[in-house]
Chain A
Amino acid sequence: MRLSAGMLSLPKAGASRNEYEDAWACPTACAQPSPPLRCAMADGASESSYARLWAQILVRSFAQGEWDPQRDDRSQLDRLRRRWLRIVSRRPLPWYAAEKVRLGAYATFIGVELSAPHGAIVPWRAAALGDSCLFQLHGDEIVTAFPIASRGDFPARPFALCSRPGEEQSVLAICGEAHAGDSFLMMTDALGRWFLAQREAGGRPWRTLLRLSELGAPAFARWVRARRASGAMGNDDVTFAWLALREV
């Protein structure tokens, strides 16, 4: 079985690429990644500072097997927190930046792990905190929507992982099986809201997104801007990633 993966993104309108605070990591850039294969997406909360860095630390650590939120006794997460603090504390900060460091950065997270195939079956598991979305596509149907299954389930203010210790939030977990031909679609909340709204209206939004995955970044950017202009999508950083399992 062969796996292909890719990602498209667009910063919030009015923000520069440097201000984009979503993150994605997937080691499929390696020619033959060995199972288990982990991919993750995080959405840094814009009301916190250094959220882009925190989101990057989370997804890279998950993808590299350094952090597993389902098996972490918090020692792994605390190590990532110390890394974040070490980086942001390298230079003297004005009072407001120092206070934002004290408050911590926040990011939602979703990560999926694909195990080695058992014949035609690929076992998978995923962990999530917040409103970043994972969908499993089998044939032309969504068979898994995690952790949010309907448009109305998006919270106005999602829970997120904080880069400082404090009131810890529980990570949701799910597992399942995938087959050759299945795809996993991952997306941050603005696109997830559009996706589920379309699906609930009887549409097949995965077809649009998979087509955009073939057309590439310029087409994706034009498409997102049009949705924002029409009010169909909120003005937020948008990230879409896909993992496609194919028979060799």
Chain B
Amino acid sequence: MPYTAEISRANPSCFLFLIDQSGSMADAWGGGQDGIAGSKALEVATIVNNLLRNIVLKCSKDEGVRNYFDVGVIGYGSHVGPAFGGTLAGRDLVAVADLADAPLRIEDRTRKVMDGAGGVLDTTVKFPVWFDPVSFGGTPMRAAFAEALRVLRPWIESHPASYPPIVFHITDGESTDGDPSQDAADLRRLGTQDGPVMLFNIHVSSQPEQEISFPATPPGLPDAYATMLFDMSSDLPSEMRERLQMEGYAAPAGARGFIFNAEPTALVNFLDIGTRPANLR
């Protein structure tokens, strides 16, 4: 049965992010709360930093960070290639323990938490920043998928029994080097013995439409790129849908790995690397 391989230090899995850093990402994002929206590039940086933070926290244990995942980030805009900065600059994939120790900076941010007496209070949390917003150049999406293939092929050859890589592609959808559908299909055809590569498309649009997560049918939005990205997204296997449902997503039968104008903060929680309590938020 696919997508059942145990994720362990001996048998790690892989996350690869493809992030759109093109000039159009400087436009205003259509999502967000209270009508306050920054640029799409800012939203992409927030999504990536949140997901990386959650991946590190998932692997953090008493003695340090366990290498359950290799993680890579490919940026595409004025150029296409590894997008890590600082001490990780130039590296395709890094072990999650290396990622944990190499953010560009760590900020204090305020979050609301339950106070245990039915109320909510503000608390300060450490928020590592690996990426700042970038928006410059064209949108060579096909080249980005080619780069993803280049990075993932050798990883898969060296991890044939691992839980297959998961690719998060975060974009506003405006490709400038042609239709990437076939390139995305080539990526989804890669896989380990445990199943094909999963491709999630996270669409940050200028359209002020409501958030959509894991739809089973094309969203039918005025943004012409949404349908293309929906079609490029992986079908979610039933095990993954069940996990997403535990995280509060509807994820009906036929759901695709597609998110529109939503922050997929809890997305990495569908992968279990051990017991995850129901009341751990």
Contact = CB atoms under 8 A, between A and B. Distances in A.
A46 B57 contact: no
Interface in A86-114: 94-100, 102-103, 106, 108
A7 B58 CA distance: 30
A14 B10 contact: yes
Given A14-B9, A168-B116, A235-B6, A99 B125 contact: yes
Contacts of B6: 235
A2 interface: no
B275 A96 contact: no
A183 interface: no
Q: What is the interface residue range for chain B against chain A?
A: 35 or more
Contact of A159 (B103, B123, B278): B278
Contacts of B272: 47
A106 B58 CA distance: 14
Which 6 pairs from chain A and chain B are nearest by CB? Answer: A46-B274, A165-B116, A160-B277, A95-B126, A96-B60, A106-B277
B52 to A, nearest CB: 11
Given A97-B60, A102-B123, A156-B246, A48 B100 contact: no
Contacts of B8: 14
Given A46-B273, A166-B116, A96 B57 contact: yes
Given A95-B126, A157-B277, A168-B116, A52 B62 contact: yes
Contact of B56 (A50, A96, A155, A235): A96
A103 B267 CA distance: 18
Contacts of B64: 97
Interface residues of A, number: 40
Interface of B: 6, 8-10, 56-58, 60-65, 100-101, 103, 106, 113-116, 123, 125-126, 128, 242-243, 246, 272-280
Given A96-B65, A98-B126, A235-B6, A45 B275 contact: yes
B274 A45 contact: yes
Given A94-B100, A165-B116, A235-B6, A49 B278 contact: no
Most chain-A CB neighbours within 10 Å: which of B6, B57, B275? B275
20 contacts: A14-B9, A45-B280, A47-B58, A47-B277, A94-B100, A94-B101, A96-B60, A97-B60, A99-B57, A99-B60, A100-B57, A130-B277, A157-B276, A159-B277, A159-B279, A166-B113, A166-B114, A166-B115, A167-B116, A236-B275
Given A96-B56, A157-B246, 8 more contacts: A45-B275, A48-B280, A52-B62, A96-B57, A103-B280, A157-B278, A158-B278, A167-B279
B116 A95 contact: no
Contacts of A53: 62
B278 to A, nearest CB: 4
B218 to A, nearest CB: 30
Contacts of B123: 102
Interface string A201-224: 000000000000000000000000
Nearest to B106: A95
Nearest to B59: A96
B113 A47 contact: no
A97 B63 CA distance: 9
A102 B114 CA distance: 12
B242 A156 contact: yes
Contact of B62 (A49, A130, A159, A166): A49
Nearest to A160: B277
B273 A47 contact: yes
B4 to A, nearest CB: 11
Given A97-B60, A100-B57, A43 B116 contact: no
Given A96-B57, A96-B60, A45 B106 contact: no
Interface string A155-182: 1111110100111110000000000000
A158 B278 CA distance: 5
B152 to A, nearest CB: 24
Contacts of A48: 277, 280
Contacts of B9: 14
A85 B63 CA distance: 16
A43 B276 CA distance: 12
Most chain-B CB neighbours within 10 Å: which of A49, A96, A97? A96
A166 B121 CA distance: 11
A47 B278 CA distance: 11
A174 to B, nearest CB: 21
A162 B57 CA distance: 17
Contacts of B10: 14
Most chain-B CB neighbours within 10 Å: which of A97, A155, A168? A97
Contacts of B106: 95
Contact of A43 (B242, B275, B278): B275
A41 to B, nearest CB: 14
Contacts of A49: 60-62
